[in-house]
Amino acid sequence: MKIKGLVLSGGKGTRLRPITYTGAKQLVPIANKPILFYVLENIVNLGIKDVGIIIAPETGDAVKQAVGDGTRWGVDVTYILQPEPAGLAHAVKIAKPFLQEDPFLMYLGDNLIGADLRRFYERFITETPDAQILLKPVEDPSRFGVAEVDEKGRVKRLIEKPKVPPSNLALVGIYMFSPKIHEAIAEIKPSWRGELEITDAIQKLLDWNCLVLSDILEEWWLDTGKKDDLLKANTIVLDEWVKREVKGEVINSRISGRVVLPETAKVINSQIRGPAVIGKHVIIENAFIGPFTSIGHGSKIVNSSLEHCVLLDGVEVRNIERLEDALIGKHSRVIKNNSLPKALKLMIGDDSVVEIP
């Protein structure tokens, strides 16, 4: 059975502005690797070779530049332009010329999960349902699409953001579909949000008595659409996946724990306490880098203390007594001239300057 991949990397990323004014939310790095790359790795590990990527007019070029033709992952990539964020089912609809009559895995490009998809994928191949969804128990299911399932994991109904949820099982942004989903999408109408909802399409399959299966995700799942979610994802990935790899130049400094320091990075009169990932050509001088911090390539940290931060490429932080829970866009500068409160929490977009007198 040939199965294709469909990655949704469109949308306007309004919840991550100002970072997403100049870039795609799926390209924001977690542990110095774009979120979208984790998604592609999870797909490639299943043996899928044909991947379509839904892109938006505003950020599509950035996605193309980052991913290329898929050679680095050994896959063929086809880009599909979605003019407006008109819903997940709309993304499937415009991808029909790429998908044709093949079954496919659909993966939201800003979702991270703490597991591979092998079991989920193999069950779809073995039991051949018309749709298969991944579910995760959550504390507030009213914020999500929610599923009601029977004891065998067969889906009985789906409700989008219900006021009275029938269960605590939220839809993770990963689905598998047979070509039957195209017929279902053709029969649905836009929701109150003006979008074609994938939950409505799956419910249409249920109305037709098609087999819709579910699997429960036991590991963590994060939708990285907001600053706090993204910082949490960075923390979890650093905590669970980073291994110590110190190759850079270390002068009168102490590096403890699981820290990634590439050959071109330099640490002078400083302390780094892992888990932390430092990018290429980074200079850290007279500074403290605390746990759960990612510093992008070409950045410079001088006379400052950082903890639980995500810094994109080319950031300069100078004379800051304490920077924490911060998300700093590319080529931005955070500089202290004189007095400053002891702690700063910031989220600033690309090419910005925060200068405190």
Domain stop point among 180, 202, 229: 229
Q: Note whether 223 and 269 are same-domain residues.
A: no
User: What pLDDT was estimated at residue 357?
Assistant: 46
Tell me what the mean pLDDT of segment 271-298 comes to. Answer: 96
**Residue 237 in domain:** no
Q: What is the DSSP letter of 224?
A: -
**pLDDT-derived band of residue 85, with 50, 70 and 90 as boundaries?**
confident
Is the bond leading into 275 cis (omega within 30 degrees of zero)?
yes
Residue 290 has what pLDDT? 94
CATH code of the domain covering residue 343: 2.160.10.10
- Report how many domains make up the chain: 2
Q: What is the domain range of residue 28?
A: 4-229
Is 210 in the same domain as 261? no
pLDDT of residue 17: 46
Say yes or no: 190 and 300 in one domain: no
Task: Give residue-wise pLDDT tens across range 59-70.
Answer: 889 899 999 999
Buried b (16+ CB within 10 A) or exposed e, 197-229: bbbbbbbbbbeeebbbbbbebeeebbbbbebeb
pLDDT, mean over the chain? 87
Q: Which of 171, 166, 167 is nearest to 198 (CA)?
A: 171
**Residue 312 φ then ψ, to 5°:** -80, -175
- Dihedral angle over CA of 84, 87, 91, 92, nearest 10: -160
Taking residue 273's Cβ as centre, other Cβ atoms within 10 Å add up to 18
The helix (H) or strand (E) run that includes residue 35 is: helix 35-44
Of the residues 206, 229, 252, the one at which a domain ends: 229
Q: Residue 263, Cβ neighbours under 10 Å: how many?
A: 11
Task: Tell whether 313 is covered by a domain.
Answer: yes
Are residues 103 and 204 part of one domain?
Answer: yes
Portion of the chain with pLDDT greater than 70, in percent: 89
Could you tell me if 257 and 199 lie in one domain?
no
Q: Verify cis geometry, omega within 30 degrees of 0, for the bond prior to 103.
A: no
Based on the fold, state whether residues 172 and 270 are members of the same structural domain.
Answer: no
Q: What is the pLDDT of residues 37-56, one digit of tens each?
A: 999 999 999 999 999 999 98
Q: How many CB atoms lie within 10 A of CB 60?
A: 19
Listed residues 199, 229, 259: the one ending a domain: 229
Predicted structure pTM score = 0.86
Task: Look up residue 178 and give its two tokens.
Answer: 């047979």
Q: Provide the pLDDT confidence category of residue 310 given band limits of 50, 70 and 90.
A: very high
352: in domain = yes
Do 253 and 203 fall into the same domain? no
- More confident site: 27 or 306: 306
Whether 234 is in a domain gets the answer no
Amino acid of residue 137: P
Cα–Cα distance for residue pair 31/41, rounded to 1 Å? 15
121 and 84 part of one domain: yes
Residues with Cβ within 8 Å of residue 165, at least 6 apart in sequence? 141, 142, 146, 159
What was the pLDDT predicted at 233?
Answer: 85
- How far is it, in rounded angstroms, from Cα 235 to Cα 229? 10
pLDDT average, residue stretch 189-216: 91
pLDDT above 90: residue 201 = yes
Q: How large is the average pLDDT for residues 309-321?
A: 92
Length of the chain: 357
On whether residue 200 sits in a domain, the answer given is yes
Does 289 lie in the same domain as 143? no
Do 82 and 152 fall within a single domain? yes
pLDDT value of residue 106: 97
Same domain, 220 and 262: no
pLDDT at 212: 94
Distance CA 284, CA 259 (A): 14
Residue 259 banded pLDDT, cuts 50, 70, 90: very high
Q: Quick one: pLDDT at residue 4?
A: 96
Considering the domain boundaries, does residue 201 fall inside one?
yes
**How confident is the model over 94-120, as pLDDT tens digits?**
999 999 999 999 999 888 888 889 999
127-149 mean pLDDT = 90
pLDDT at residue 15 in the model:
47
Q: Is residue 236 part of a domain?
A: no
Residues 81 and 213 in one domain: yes
Query: Angle formed by the axes of helices 198-207 and 180-187, to 10°?
Result: 100
pLDDT band for 142, please (50, 70, 90 cuts). Answer: confident
Q: Residue 105 maps to which CATH number? A: 3.90.550.10
**pLDDT higher than threshold 50 for residue 244:** yes
